[in-house]
Amino acid sequence: MPEIIIRKATPQDLEMIWALRLETSALLKARGIDQWQYDLPNQETFLSDIRQGHFYVAEEERHLLAMIAIKDTHEPTYDIVYGGAWAEDVPYLTVHRLAVKGDQLGRGLGFLLMRFAETIALEKKVPYIRIDTHKNNRYAIRLFESLGYIRRGEIDLNPQKGDIRRIVFDKQISKGCE
């Protein structure tokens, strides 16, 4: 059976990444989720993540299956949490742009990439992760909660089109990613 490899993305991956972004936008729209429906994330967003070394792809036999951004920079939209608060006021990693190709859904790739993010957190000695998703994205919510992420409230994204409110989750990572 072919092996799934997770690696840092390169600018040469941008075409495949963008195709997955468009596919994911269509899937979210079909599910009635107002996420990735407008201008963001755009190609420059992905290219910036790649150049900063924050973007990873999961592939099998050189076919891109899924993607994730794992950032160790401050996330300004996380400064104000409505209806709750973060568990910790310490350095954190942020997960963004998690997506899996439609024909790969159900294989556990989202779970695999989130566990990979937890491993990165431990390696960087920043064992605390924050993440957000749209309130109607029950698939992402179920994934995060199954991994022990705790819902902490809501945030507003930087001004953009559409529904800017997102549910936020966090998790303190321990050895073994439990």
State the pLDDT confidence band at 162, using cuts at 50, 70 and 90: low
- 10 contact partners, CB below 8 Å, separation of at least 6: 50
Q: Using one digit for the tens of pLDDT, what is the confidence trace for 4-21?
A: 999 999 999 999 999 999
Is residue 177 pLDDT above 70, yes or no?
Answer: no
State the pLDDT confidence band at 165, using cuts at 50, 70 and 90: confident
Q: Using one digit for the tens of pLDDT, what is the confidence trace for 110-127?
A: 999 999 999 999 999 999
Q: Using one digit for the tens of pLDDT, what is the confidence trace for 67-118?
A: 999 999 999 999 999 999 999 999 999 999 999 999 999 999 999 999 999 9
Q: How far apart are CA 127 and CA 36, in angstroms?
A: 28
Is residue 178 pLDDT above 60, yes or no?
Answer: no
Q: Report which of 133, 128, 136 is spatially closest to residue 96, judged by C-alpha positions.
A: 133
Q: Using one digit for the tens of pLDDT, what is the confidence trace for 40-66?
A: 899 999 999 999 999 999 999 999 999
Phi, psi of 46 (to 5 degrees): -65, -45
Give the pLDDT score at 2.
Answer: 81
- 75 contact partners, CB below 8 Å, separation of at least 6: 94, 130
Instruction: Tokens for 37, please give them.
Output: 């429906």
Instruction: Provide the CA 25 distance to its chain's centre, in angstroms.
Output: 14
Number of H helices, E strands in the chain: 4, 7
Q: Which CATH class is domain 4-172?
A: alpha beta
Is the Cβ–Cβ distance between 141 and 167 less than 8 Å? Answer: yes
- 14 contact partners, CB below 8 Å, separation of at least 6: 43, 46, 47, 50
| Structural domain spans, the chain | 4-172
Q: Using one digit for the tens of pLDDT, what is the confidence trace for 133-154?
A: 999 999 999 999 999 999 999 9
Q: How many residues does this entry show for the chain?
A: 178
